[in-house]
């Protein structure tokens, strides 16, 4: 019995993230549990399907309040403009709501990282279906309108030290906020500091509550190659280079319970606009 208890404790300890100093250490990988739908070929059907889902999701008071603040901000900024808008109103409000850090950002990204563990889990337990769809559509729209093909960006994290293996392919597995300004990223933390060359991230500076942060939003489905990894007493430094996109889901909401959801390799390992691989950082 004592041996069984010891073995159980050992297995439990090995399954937990390692504690390093005052923070945690996590290994970057392909984030296979992420809900990474790109909604290729089903935009109209998704918009119709989400009309009923949206009413249910807004029963979450914090979500509804955040959305209301974002909608009011959009109305004040662009509501009376006669000029054509880059994003549809719903897409712009979704991006604004995402940048409101009072509530939505953290919970939403936690659920995105876990939402793809199974099709049933997404259907029954992922309660940000509308926000995920609108953010994804906003990213697609901004990719088409922004002239910059790729961005050099930075991301700083506090209390978590990520590790990565050289030349491995990884994903963030969530909508990831980065900045074009190194000092802005350093302000958010330096326990792990990412230096990223993204070709699918988009600038959302014009649709943010914090435009001075010069934010670039990376979608959960972008794949990166680890080009360098170093560490010292102050923190870990991870260099990533865009390596295409990969999604395990496509139009998942339109597939009923029990349906087989096969990995959707959408533009696998290709660069945006068919461009060459960017140089190593």
Specify whether 149 is catalytic: no
What's the chain's average pLDDT?
85
Has residue 86 got a pLDDT over 50? yes
Number of alpha helices (DSSP H) and beta strands (DSSP E) in the chain: 8, 11
Q: What phi and psi values does residue 69 have, to the nearest 5 degrees?
A: -60, -40
Q: What is the pLDDT of residue 11?
A: 41
Specify whether 55 is catalytic: no
Q: Any idea which of 44-53, 149-158, 233-242 has the lowest mean pLDDT?
A: 44-53
Q: Where are the domains of the chain?
A: 20-269
Exactly one of 34, 90, 177, 179 is catalytic; which is it?
177
pLDDT band at 279 (very low <50, low <70, confident <90, very high): very low
59 or 209, higher pLDDT: 209
Average pLDDT over residues 148-165: 94
Q: What phi and psi values does residue 221 have, to the nearest 5 degrees?
A: -90, -5
Q: Which fold has domain 20-269?
A: Toxin ADP-ribosyltransferase; Chain A, domain 1 (3.90.176)
Token pair, residue 47, equals 């918009």
The alpha-helical segments, DSSP class H, found in the chain are 2-15, 43-57, 61-78, 89-99, 104-114, 119-125, 129-145, 182-188
Integer angstrom CA distances of residue 86 from 83, 93, 153: 10, 12, 23
Average pLDDT over residues 85-109: 91
Confidence (pTM): 0.84
Specify whether 125 is catalytic: no
CA distance 214 to 55: 33
Has residue 3 got a pLDDT over 70? no
Q: What is the pLDDT of residue 259?
A: 47
Q: Exposed, middle or buried by CB within 10 Å (0-12, 13-18, 19+), for 177? A: buried
Has residue 80 got a pLDDT over 90? no
Has residue 70 got a pLDDT over 70? yes
CA 229 distance to own-chain centroid: 21
The answer to whether 216 and 180 are in contact (CB under 8 A) is yes
pLDDT band at 65 (very low <50, low <70, confident <90, very high): very high
Average pLDDT over residues 248-258: 85
Exactly one of 34, 114, 155, 241 is catalytic; which is it?
155
Has residue 75 got a pLDDT over 70? yes
Exactly one of 90, 114, 213, 215 is catalytic; which is it?
215
pLDDT band at 257 (very low <50, low <70, confident <90, very high): low
Has residue 10 got a pLDDT over 70? no
């Amino acid at each position: 019995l004592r041996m069984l208890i010891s073995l159980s404790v050992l297995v439990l300890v090995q399954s937990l993230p390692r504690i390093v100093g005052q923070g945690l250490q996590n290994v970057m990988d392909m984030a296979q549990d992420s809900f990474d739908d790109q909604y290729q070929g089903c935009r109209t059907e998704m918009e119709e399907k989400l009309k009923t889902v949206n009413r249910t999701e807004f029963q979450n008071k914090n979500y509804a309040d955040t959305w209301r603040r974002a909608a009011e901000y959009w109305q004040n900024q662009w509501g009376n403009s006669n000029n054509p808008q880059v994003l549809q109103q719903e897409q712009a409000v979704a991006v604004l709501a995402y940048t409101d850090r009072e509530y939505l950002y953290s919970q939403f990204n936690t659920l995105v990282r876990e939402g793809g563990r199974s099709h049933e889990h997404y259907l029954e337990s992922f309660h940000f279906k509308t926000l995920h769809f609108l953010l994804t559509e906003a990213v697609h729209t901004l990719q088409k309108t922004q002239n910059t093909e790729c961005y050099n960006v930075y991301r700083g994290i506090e209390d978590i030290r990520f590790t990565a293996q050289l030349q491995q392919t990884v994903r963030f597995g969530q909508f990831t906020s980065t900045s074009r300004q190194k000092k802005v990223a350093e302000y958010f933390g330096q326990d792990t500091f990412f230096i990223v060359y993204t070709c699918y991230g988009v600038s959302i500076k014009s649709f943010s509550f914090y435009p001075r942060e010069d934010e670039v939003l990376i979608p959960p489905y972008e794949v990166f190659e680890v080009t360098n990894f170093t560490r010292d007493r102050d923190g870990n430094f991870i260099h990533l280079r865009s390596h295409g996109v990969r999604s395990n889901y496509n139009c998942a909401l339109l597939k009923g319970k029990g349906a087989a959801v096969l990995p959707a390799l959408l533009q696998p390992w290709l660069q945006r606009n068919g461009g060459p691989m960017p140089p190593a950082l």
